[in-house]
Amino acid sequence: MTQPEDPNRVLIFDTTLRDGEQSPGISLNAHEKLEIAQQLARLGVDVIEAGFPITSPGDFDAVQEISRRVEGPVIAGLARTHVADIDAAWNAVKDAERPRIHTFISTSDIHIHHQLQTTRDDVKGQARAAVAHAKQYLDDVEFSPMDATRADVEFTGEVCQVAIDEGANTINIPDTVGYTMPHEFTEYLLRLYELVPKLKDVVLSVHCHDDLGLAVANSFAGLRAGARQVECAVNGIGERAGNASLEEIVMLLRTRQPDVGLATGVVTQELARTSRLVSRLTGYPVQPNKAVVGRNAFAHESGIHQDGVLKERTTYEIMDATTVGLAANSIVLGKHSGRHALQQALSELGFELSGQSLNTAFRRFKEIADKKKHVTALDLEALVTDELREEITGYQLEWFDVEASSRRPPHATVGIRMPDGEEVRGSFTGDGPVDAIFRAINAATGSEARLREFRVDAVTGGQDALGETSVVLEIAGVSGSGQGVSTDILEAAGRAYVRALSNATRRRGIMAEAEEALATEAEAIRTP
Ligand code: KIV
Ligand code: ZN
């Protein structure tokens, strides 16, 4: 990607599907990744880092599918400097409208000595070879000196120079362990500009982690120092404490544009929806007081604040909730609304459904509308996201019976459709109705899953609100998360559990495949 013509345009590089997906417990399948990538395209990000294709066949397939189906943003695949990584990244992104390979190697001595167990010269050589190899395939190549902020800036400059000489068009400076501070990061980047004058001919990017809660502040400092690409993730998810939060950096630039003078191409009205989708599919909740997209981000509790906002919104609000898509949506359907009204309402929300998927959505809508007076935009969004997941899960909850009473422990029986189509049953007497259902599902599927987290939220307010549940479970050390939506909490819980089980089972399969591939590779190296 060449530099944008407008020197004040900041490129948003979204890494929700790569760094974000590396968050503990997140296990998105290819279908869910595609759903997020399509929403990111609607949000108007410039680059989607869709995954790290060498790491597993599942990751490769997801990046390839996104490259083939998502239009608009550049699609990037991550690669270490190894030839096999770069080849895998290329094969995964080559069908994209605008593909990119992002290759990286550490420049800090801590990483070079302890992790890579090599020398600075070797790192320089690997960086040169990797960029040159990637350039044989495509023009758009990004290079990152990993752990740069703890590395010798002179040496990092030498490595960046080599990458630029070989044709890298973006140089990304990562604060890999979230260690730097804004003023220090500014100085580091300014020094890098002095050491590598050619840096001004390429896009300088920043990638900051949030270990000290400074990811957004450091990214902003990077932009003030001259960077024009920010790597960030929706809801700030990512390794350990996460990455810079996309919505925060975007709204910072928008809200303070008159003073800072920088702008992104993000359609901010899509921010809240993107945040909800990512939270639903990853199972990572958004804290209520989260800046920009938390449910209290525009709520006023104290009488003085409420009074002020009623008189004039700007007395206590620096942003308008409608700007980030958080204001109450006008769509409301009732129990007499027909298929066409539903299709239109969904289309307004960005879901184009027809045929079988519209029929299924309509059936679910009717079930809900029978129990709930008004079905709102938030309900429809939760329902459709839930339904879209249905197509790809391994196990399905067909039905359940729960006998609950205050005098006897609850007993549950469930019917589960197995991936091969067979229906199996299981029963369990548990500590509570939810526990009984979860263990009955284990009994039916013959799984030894252990529940790690269980959460219930209401999609909207009111007594008849849709319930949204989230489950994280573990099978033999492999975790999986799943979500479910229903007006009946037990049904929502059961749906979430079977999805988490399907995800964990699928992840175990992928990990076993990856281990097998590694063993074959090691065998091939041993065999002359
Ligand atoms: O944090 C980091 O250094 C990374 C690189 C791969 C850019 O995620
Ligand atoms: Zn990172």
* Distance from the alpha carbon of residue 260 to the mean position of ligand 2, in angstroms: 26
Tell me, using a 6 A CB cutoff, whether residue 104 lines ligand 1: yes
Selected residue with higher pLDDT from 140 and 58: 140
Contact of 137 with 96, CB cutoff 8 Å: no
Q: Which ligand is nearest to the CA of 146?
A: 1
The pLDDT value recorded for residue 54 is 96
What residue's CA is closest to ligand 1, atom 6? Answer: 104
The pLDDT value recorded for residue 241 is 94
The pLDDT value recorded for residue 393 is 57
Alpha-helical regions (H) of 372-432:
377-390
Bridge partners of 99, per DSSP, are: 75
Tell me, using a 6 A CB cutoff, whether residue 144 lines ligand 1: yes
CA distances 141 to 15, 75, 235, Å, are 16, 11, 27
pLDDT at 190 over 90: yes
Tell me, using a 6 A CB cutoff, whether residue 207 lines ligand 1: yes
* Distance from the alpha carbon of residue 174 to the mean position of ligand 2, in angstroms: 7
Tell me, using a 6 A CB cutoff, whether residue 13 lines ligand 1: no
pLDDT at 36 over 90: yes
CA distance 41 to 68: 13
Ligand 1: atom nearest CA of 177 is 1
In SS3 terms, 313-362 reads as: HHHCCCCCHHHHCCCCCCCEECCCCCHHHHHHHHHHCCCCCCHHHHHHHH
pLDDT interval class at 389 (50, 70, 90):
low
pLDDT > 70 fraction of the chain, expressed in percent and rounded: 95
Bridge partners of 200, per DSSP, are: none
Selected residue with higher pLDDT from 182 and 505: 182
Phi, psi of 488 (to 5 degrees): -105, 115
The first and second tokens of residue 235, run together, are 């809801």
CATH 3.20.20.70 placement within the chain:
11-282
Tell me, using a 6 A CB cutoff, whether residue 229 lines ligand 1: no
Compute the Cα dihedral for 474, 480, 481, 482 and give only its sign.
Answer: negative
What residue's CA is closest to ligand 1, atom 5? Answer: 146
Exposure of 171 in the CB half-sphere (CA atoms within 13 A): 29
Question: Distance of alpha carbon 251 from its chain centroid, rounded?
Answer: 18
Strands (E), 107-251: 141-146, 170-175, 203-208, 229-232
The pLDDT value recorded for residue 394 is 85
Q: Which ligand is nearest to the CA of 238?
A: 2
Contact of 79 with 86, CB cutoff 8 Å: yes
pLDDT tens, residue by residue, 277-312: 999 888 888 988 999 999 888 888 788 888 888 888
Q: At 11, which amino acid appears?
A: L
pLDDT at 237 over 50: yes
SS3 303: helix
What residue's CA is closest to ligand 1, atom 8? Answer: 19
Which residue reads 């709520």 in tokens?
299
CA distances 273 to 15, 42, 351, Å, are 17, 10, 12
The pLDDT value recorded for residue 22 is 87
pLDDT tens, residue by residue, 191-231: 999 999 999 999 999 999 999 999 999 999 999 999 999 99
Can you identify the CATH homologous superfamily of domain 11-282? Aldolase class I (3.20.20.70)
Which residue reads 């770069």 in tokens?
86
Least confident of 39-48, 53-62, 368-377: 368-377
* Distance from the alpha carbon of residue 148 to the mean position of ligand 1, in angstroms: 10
pLDDT at 439 over 60: yes
* Distance from the alpha carbon of residue 64 to the mean position of ligand 2, in angstroms: 21
pLDDT at 386 over 90: no
pLDDT at 392 over 80: no
* Distance from the alpha carbon of residue 10 to the mean position of ligand 1, in angstroms: 19
The pLDDT value recorded for residue 528 is 46
CATH 3.30.160.270 placement within the chain:
396-514
pLDDT at 240 over 70: yes
Q: At 226, which amino acid appears?
A: G
The pLDDT value recorded for residue 404 is 85
CA distance 293 to 287: 9
Query: Does pTM top 0.85 for this prediction?
Result: yes
Contact of 142 with 174, CB cutoff 8 Å: no
The pLDDT value recorded for residue 86 is 98
Q: Which ligand is nearest to the CA of 106?
A: 1
Among 60, 22, 55, smallest CA distance to 514 is for 55
CA distance 246 to 219: 11
Query: For the chain, percent helix, then strand, then coil, each to nearest 5?
Result: 50, 20, 30
* Distance from the alpha carbon of residue 175 to the mean position of ligand 2, in angstroms: 8
pLDDT > 90 fraction of the chain, expressed in percent and rounded: 64
The pLDDT value recorded for residue 510 is 75
Tell me, using a 6 A CB cutoff, whether residue 76 lines ligand 1: no
Tell me, using a 6 A CB cutoff, whether residue 133 lines ligand 1: no
319 by Cβ neighbours in 10 Å (0-12 / 13-18 / 19+) ranks as middle
Exposure of 340 in the CB half-sphere (CA atoms within 13 A): 0
CATH of domain 396-514: 3.30.160.270
pLDDT at 329 over 60: no
The pLDDT value recorded for residue 387 is 74
The pLDDT value recorded for residue 93 is 98
CA distance 425 to 414: 6
What residue's CA is closest to ligand 1, atom 1? Answer: 176
Tell me, using a 6 A CB cutoff, whether residue 108 lines ligand 1: no
CA distance 38 to 44: 10
Q: What's the rounded mean pLDDT across residues 356-378?
A: 85
Q: Which CB contacts under 8 angstroms, 24+ apart, belong to 79-84?
A: 79/52, 79/53, 79/54, 79/103, 79/104, 79/130, 79/134, 80/54, 80/104, 80/105, 80/130, 81/105, 81/126, 81/127, 81/129, 81/130, 82/54, 82/130, 83/133, 84/54
* Distance from the alpha carbon of residue 143 to the mean position of ligand 2, in angstroms: 13
What residue's CA is closest to ligand 1, atom 3? Answer: 176
pLDDT tens, residue by residue, 480-527: 888 898 889 999 999 999 989 988 888 888 777 767 766 776 665 454
Ligand 1: atom nearest CA of 146 is 3
* Distance from the alpha carbon of residue 350 to the mean position of ligand 1, in angstroms: 32
Ligand 1: atom nearest CA of 78 is 6
Tell me, using a 6 A CB cutoff, whether residue 174 lines ligand 1: yes
Selected residue with higher pLDDT from 377 and 145: 145
Q: Which ligand is nearest to the CA of 172?
A: 1
